[in-house]
Amino acid sequence: MSDFLKELNTEQNNAVVHCDGPMMVIAGAGSGKTRVLTFKIAYLLRQGVDPFNILALTFTNKAAREMKERVIRLIGDTEGRNVWMGTFHSIFAKILRIDGHHLGYPSNFTIYDSDDSKRLIRQIINEKKLDPKLYSPSFVAHRISMAKSSLINAEDYANNPEIISADESARKPLIKDIYSSYTARLKRADAMDFDDLLFNTYILFRDFADVLYKYQLKFRHILVDEYQDTNHAQYLIIQKLAANTENICVVGDDAQSIYGFRGANIANILNFKHDYPDFKLFKLEQNYRSTKNIVEAANHVIAINKDQIHKTVWTENDSGNKIGFIKATSDNEEGQLVANAIFEQKMNHQLPNSAFAILYRTNAQSRSIEEALRKRNIPYRIYGGLSFYQRKEIKDLLGYFRLTINHNDEDALQRIINFPARGIGKTSIEKMVVAADEHDVNLWDIITHLEKYKVGVNSGIIKKAGDFSTMIKSFRAELKKKDAYEAAKHIAVSSGLLKLYREEDTPEGISRVENIEELLNAIKEFAEAGAESNEGDMASQGTLEEFMQDVALLTDADNEDEDKDKVALMTIHAAKGLEFPHVFIVGLEENLFPSIQSISTRTDLEEERRLFYVALTRAMEKVTLSHAESRYRWGQFTITEPSRFLEEIDEKLLERPKKVSMPGFSTSPKTSIPKPGPGFKSVNKTISKSVEMNFDASDTSALQSGMQVEHPNFGLGKVMAVEGNGANMKATVYFNGVGKKNLLLRFAKLKIIT
DNA sequence: TCCGATCTATTTTTT
DNA sequence: ATAGATCGGA
């Protein structure tokens, strides 16, 4: 029966068959981590464990999907389907839809994605008449998110002296109030943000012992992938769920922890020891994926980090190729050289496009690469990036679906009440929002009872708002009568959205219509697939509600052309867990990779280095590193320096640079010459990197108005004002003979004179 | 209220 | 560069 175990090495085998009690698998890159997890699930099932008793948690949808497929391949469809396998967020959302009523949430609560939460935060900041420059929605959102990930609610936040003093010294003492309003508004909208899915699950388990007990009984075997990426909330939830049986198996690799920015806590790996002193540790150190050269290069890089659990990754594979190296003069040339290299290797070795991956640090880098690939007629596919579901037209239509399903979804309501235009303008909406706050009722209550709440709008508006709410109510009725596709189509048409975009008659309008049609097709498929697409024991009827529940947690719109023969383009984060024969890591430049925000502290820099490690270890046969000497960033020409990570590659493993830098390339970049007139202000963006080699810039973090400074291009000047914080710190400087300039201190090199 | 012009943040990574 | 937000005039 378990002949499939023969495919495992001893250590993998031991990890698979050990099923009782807590265990941790520390798995080096390419050591067969996913294999162990999937075989373990298969093994459990073969041992007679009920699939309903197994919970497997991953971080990404992709990983969950893949694991599911592999398990099904091993042990068949029927059993595999009933295992709860999914991302933390999707599994917890499922639990909250069933049991969230204990916390006062209906089962049709809306999930706000980060865009939606940011919109809400922005709105609250506006309502509180706070300066959105000081209280930047992104910053506030991040603060709140970090707090929630650490299970600090708004009240705890306000009562935590450390947090408050940190906010105060950042001159943002009112974040606590924004947090508190934000929480209230989410609740009022019957909505949860991503962090709430974890936070509320924790609260549910903490405060409702019987609910916790139910799930403890259900999930008798818990498996967690990428354990190094768990945050505090996830850690505690797992701990609670596993408290009964302690059949918990966590798999991870501290060297691949790359989500610290989102609250991941490597210490969770260390805490495991304390929680389960009798746990069993398995170490997978043999790499099956990569050549010796790649493994060695990666080991050499990661060894530079101080924070790590010791392990020796080794391989029996051949030495293989040396690490390739490409030096380009510009980002466009980098794209061309990479495309050429792919073309060449493809031809020389008869390789499919799918053998290649191009990895970058930021999504924005894909553009120049794409262009080059297109010119070379090399088919490619971009993973991640701005998701299909984040496009405006899709969000609009989803807004109608959301409001139809959950009338209390205020974000959806505000998004669509006047789109397409219905003559309910900004002023009227504002009045309604104010009224909602005054009476502390939901916006839907207001628009359906405008007279009762004495909202000062004219009779025309009352009529229009009435029509709108009647329409939404009629959509709800459609939902009950028709299947998901029919209902969705009806909404797209009756709302006027489809018509609006059709009439636009521009290329964008056409593409928007196409996107809407694509969404409708996806819904059609979903409806037809019915039970098929849903995991676990909750049989799906293929309703629009169910579709929307899935959609909220989808980010990468994989539309099933996975196995087409294409070069893969993605961020390194998105590449985690994947492997490719040939990997190009591009944009190895200081301030890009490592990212400029990560170079100031050791822990941040080490996370970047782990990211580099992850990138290197994606490759099976060959890695090629590339960097460009100049790059357009923020639409501005920038001179770059090679990344420090390049120097961390063992030289004997590196190919000779293919291209020697052009010696004459020291001419100053064309920084736009200030012209008199209104266009003047844009100059602040032009100086990203000083051209003067010997200019000795000062640390400007303490810059204050009144100081005398010197700028390499503009000469001497006087600081008139400083605003913003950290990376967004700006200064207004009056330069002698040049005039007033706004400088982003992150970029501008200034020497402080007095 | 609507429309076009101008301003502005965005670029770290994901659920 | 570029999309979205904001502003100002019709």
On average, the pLDDT of chain A sits at 83
Whether pLDDT at A495 is above 80: yes
Measure CA to C1' and name the residue nearest B8.
A133
Give the pLDDT confidence score for residue A129 in this predicted structure. 82
Fill in the amino acid letter for A561.
D
pLDDT at A403 over 60: yes
Nearest nt by C1' to A367 Cα: C1
Q: Is the C-beta of residue A282 closer than 7 Å to nucleic acid chain B? A: no
- Mean pLDDT across the stretch A257-277? 87
Looking at residue A304, its amino acid is I
Considering only residues A333 and A692, tell me which one the structure prediction assigns the higher pLDDT: A333
- Three-state SS for A46-103 is HCCCCHHHEEEEECCHHHHHHHHHHHHHHHCHHHHHCCEEEEHHHHHHHHHHHHHHHH
Section A385-392 average pLDDT = 77
- pLDDT of the residue at A609: 95
Q: Please state whether strand C lies within 7 Å of residue A635 at its CB atom.
A: yes
Residue written as tokens 């293989």?
A320
Q: Which helix (H) or strand (E) holds A214?
A: helix A209-218
Q: Is the CB of A507 under 7 A from strand C?
A: no
pLDDT at A657: 62
SS3 A196: helix
Token pair 């980060």 is found at A114
A197: which nucleotide lies closest, measuring CA to C1'?
B15
Flag whether pLDDT at A687 surpasses 50.
Answer: no
| Residue with CA nearest C1' of nucleotide B1 | A425
pLDDT at residue number A726: 47
Q: Which nucleotide is nearest to A87 (CA to C1')?
A: B15
Is residue A710 within 8 A of residue A751, CB to CB? The reply is yes
pLDDT at A183 over 60: yes
Output the distance from A207 CA to C9 C1' rounded to whole Å. 57
> Residue A55 region, left (φ>0) first, then alpha (ψ -120 to 50), else beta?
beta
Q: Is the pLDDT of residue A347 over 80?
A: yes
Q: Å from A361 (CA) to B11 (C1')?
A: 10
CB A571 within 7 Å, strand B: yes
Q: What confidence score (pLDDT) does residue A504 get?
A: 73
- Tell if A89 CB is < 7 Å from nucleic strand B: yes
Task: Give one DSSP letter per residue of A153-186, joined into a string.
Answer: -HHHHHH-HHHHHHHHHTT-TTHHHHHHHHHHHH
Asked whether the predicted pLDDT for residue A394 surpasses 80, the reply is yes
Judging by DSSP bridges, how do beta strands A567-571 and A286-287 pair with one another?
unpaired
Amino acid A604 CA to nucleotide B6 C1' distance, rounded Å:
38
Query: Which tops the pLDDT comparison, A267 or A718?
Result: A267
* Contact by Cβ (8 Å): A223, A41: yes
Nearest nucleotide relative to A387: CA against C1': B14
pLDDT at A752: 65
The C1' atom of B12 and the CA atom of A6 lie apart, in whole Å, by 42
Average pLDDT over residues A725-743: 52
pLDDT band at A515 (very low <50, low <70, confident <90, very high): confident
DSSP secondary structure string for all residues of A686-720:
T-SS-S-TT--PPP-TT--TT-EEEETTTEEEEEE
Q: Mean pLDDT across the stretch A468-472?
A: 93
A364, closest nucleotide (Cα–C1'): B11
Q: Which range has the worst mean pLDDT, A58-72, A128-142, A580-594, A662-676?
A: A662-676
How many residues would you count in chain A? 754
A464 CA from C6 C1′ (Å)? 26
pLDDT recorded at residue A718: 61
pLDDT of the residue at A734:
57
Q: What is the pLDDT of residue A555?
A: 65
Which pLDDT belongs to residue A685?
Answer: 24
Q: Check residue A666 and give its pLDDT.
A: 33
Of A28-32, A86-90, A142-146, A547-551, the poorest mean pLDDT is in A547-551
Whether CB of A374 is under 7 Å from strand C: the answer is no
Q: Is the CB of A574 under 7 A from strand B?
A: yes
Q: Residue closest to C1, CA→C1'?
A: A635
pTM above 0.85, yes or no: no
Q: What is the tens place of the pLDDT at every residue in A616-642?
A: 999 999 999 999 999 988 777 889 999
List the one residue out of A434, A458, A460 whose CA is nearest residue A446. Answer: A434
Output the pLDDT for position A751: 62
pLDDT at A529: 77
In this structure, of A179-193, A597-611, A689-703, A713-727, the range with the lowest mean pLDDT score is: A689-703
| CA of A19, C1' of C6: distance in angstroms | 60
User: If pLDDT is split at 50, 70 and 90, which confidence band does A227 have?
Assistant: very high
Output A746 or A23, whichever has higher pLDDT: A23
Q: Distance from residue A727 (CA) to nucleotide B6 (C1'), in Å?
A: 25
Q: Give the residue whose CA sits closest to C2 at C1'.
A: A635
Task: Confirm whether any atom of chain C, the nucleic acid strand, is less than 7 Å from CB of A161.
Answer: no
Task: Report the nucleotide nearest the CA of residue A572, measured to C1'.
Answer: B13
Q: Which residue is nearest to nucleotide C4 (CA to C1')?
A: A392
Percent of chain A with pLDDT over 70: 84
Which nucleotide's C1' atom has the smallest distance to the CA of A426?
B1
Residue A446 has pLDDT above 50, yes or no: yes
Q: What is the mean pLDDT of residues A340-355?
A: 94
| pLDDT tens, position by position, A405-416 | 999 999 899 888
Q: Which nucleotides of C are covered by protein (CB under 7 A)?
A: 1-6
Q: What percent of chain A has pLDDT over 90?
A: 50
Distances (CA, A) of A248 to A225, A243, A254, A292, A398: 11, 9, 18, 33, 38
Q: Average pLDDT, stretch A216-228?
A: 95
- Measure, in angstroms, how far nucleotide B5 C1' is from residue A684 CA: 22
In window 353-412 of A, residues with CB < 7 A from nucleic chain B are 361-364, 384
Residue A452 CB partners (closer than 8 Å, separation 6+): none
Asked whether residue A634, judged by its CB, lies under 7 Å from any atom of the DNA or RNA strand C, the reply is: yes
Report the alpha-carbon distance of residue A43 to residue A499 in Å, rounded. Answer: 54
At residue A536, the pLDDT reads: 41
DSSP, residue by residue, A432-453 = HHHHHHHHT--HHHHHH-TTTT
Give the model's pLDDT for residue A671.
31
A194-207 vs A88-99: helix axis angle to the nearest 10?
50
How many angstroms separate the CA atoms of A37 and A464, rounded?
A: 56
Nucleotide nearest to A508 (CA to C1'): C3
Which strand B bases fall within 7 angstroms of a protein CB?
1-3, 7-15
Active-site amino acid positions of A: 33-34, 225-226, 256, 618
Predicted confidence (pLDDT) at residue A556 exceeds the cutoff of 70: no
Q: How confident is the model at residue A537 (pLDDT cuts 50, 70, 90)?
A: very low
State the alpha helices, DSSP H only, in A449-579. 459-481, 484-494, 497-504, 507-529, 544-551, 572-575
Q: Is the pLDDT of residue A533 over 50?
A: no
Q: In the structure, what pLDDT confidence band is assigned to residue A525 with cuts at 50, 70 and 90?
A: confident
A373 CB-side CA count, 13 A = 20
Q: What is the pLDDT of residue A722?
A: 57
